[in-house]
Amino acid sequence: MLIRANAGDVPRLGLVFARKKVRFAVERNRLKRLVRTSFRLHQHELPAADVVFVARQGLDQLDNAAFLALLEKAWQQLNRRFRASPKPVASHENSAAPADPGLPVRP
CB atoms within 10 A of CB 71: 21
pLDDT digits (tens, 9 = 90+) for 29-85: 999 999 999 999 999 988 888 999 999 999 999 999 999 999 999 999 988 887 776
pLDDT at 85: 66
pLDDT at 107: 59
Architecture of domain 2-83: 2-Layer Sandwich (3.30)
44 backbone dihedrals φ, ψ, rounded to 5°: -70, -20
Show the CA angle centred on residue 23, arms to residues 32 and 106, nearest 5°: 55
pLDDT at 100: 52
pLDDT digits (tens, 9 = 90+) for 74-103: 999 988 887 776 555 444 444 444 555 555
So where are the chain's domains? Answer: 2-83
CB atoms within 10 A of CB 67: 19
Closest CA to 105 of 72, 81, 85, 87: 81
